[in-house]
Amino acid sequence: MRHLNRVMGLGFFLLSFTTALYAQDQPSVKLDKPLKSVVIDSVVQALCRYYVYPDLAVAMGAHLKSQMNQGVYNTITDPHRLAQWLSQEVLKIHPDKHLSIRYDPALEKRIHAFNQDPHVNRNANPGEQRRNFFFKQAAILPGNLGYIDFTNFADTSTLARNTVRAALQFVAYTDALVIDLRNNGGGNAVMASEMIRYFLMHPLC
């Protein structure tokens, strides 16, 4: 989307995500310094990749890295306590009540089981597909103004991604773009993050 000079969003939307800290699947696990470094690096990468406000994600990551280098987390060995502390620290940068960090080793097992289940349908949701993955309109208005209206962030199937790409390519050579979110109810945070990436020249982290 190199030819887009500005992006205007009408309305607003809120995104939330929870980063699970995976250390070991044992309730009595103690975190040593190398493992804490891996955990914090993973949190920083997740913020940069998924958080809806990229500039704040960079600031949060820099803050956590700075604290780690200063030894602030040296005495914390409990993963639940570390997760709680990291949540408090990122919220100092931006008080987003939809953002939290937690330790949940059982979640990793559930995700792994989901990915290994041959009966899981990874194709497009038929209901979403019939509704064109919630895209209502992609148009070029007078004055070479691009306009996109969609009412939800669909699941990240291949067809849904292709629909997003087609809509954005259609308005790629307009002088400005309006993304109308007045009737958008939210949806899949990963899809929202992927859409934002179309407007970034390079990764921020």
Domains of the chain, earliest start first: 7-14+125-197 (3.90.226.10), 22-103 (no CATH)
What pLDDT was estimated at residue 3? 39
Phi and psi for 111 in degrees, rounded to 5? -65, -45
pTM of the model: 0.53
What pLDDT was estimated at residue 115? 58
Using DSSP, state whether 157 is helix, strand or coil: coil
Phi and psi for 100 in degrees, rounded to 5? -150, 160
Provide the pairing of β-strand 176-180 with 7-10: parallel
What pLDDT was estimated at residue 10? 27
What pLDDT was estimated at residue 151? 94
> pLDDT above 90 covers what percent of the chain?
46
* Look-up of token digits 């009966």: 119
What pLDDT was estimated at residue 124? 74
Name residue 166's beta-bridge partners.
none
What pLDDT was estimated at residue 87? 93
Q: Which residues of the chain have pLDDT under 70?
A: 1-28, 107-108, 110-122, 201-205
Q: d(Cα 24, Cα 106) in Å, to the nearest integer?
A: 10
pLDDT tens digit string along 45-100? 888 887 878 899 999 999 999 999 999 999 999 998 999 999 999 999 999 888 88
Closest among 172, 126, 124 to 148, alpha carbons compared: 172
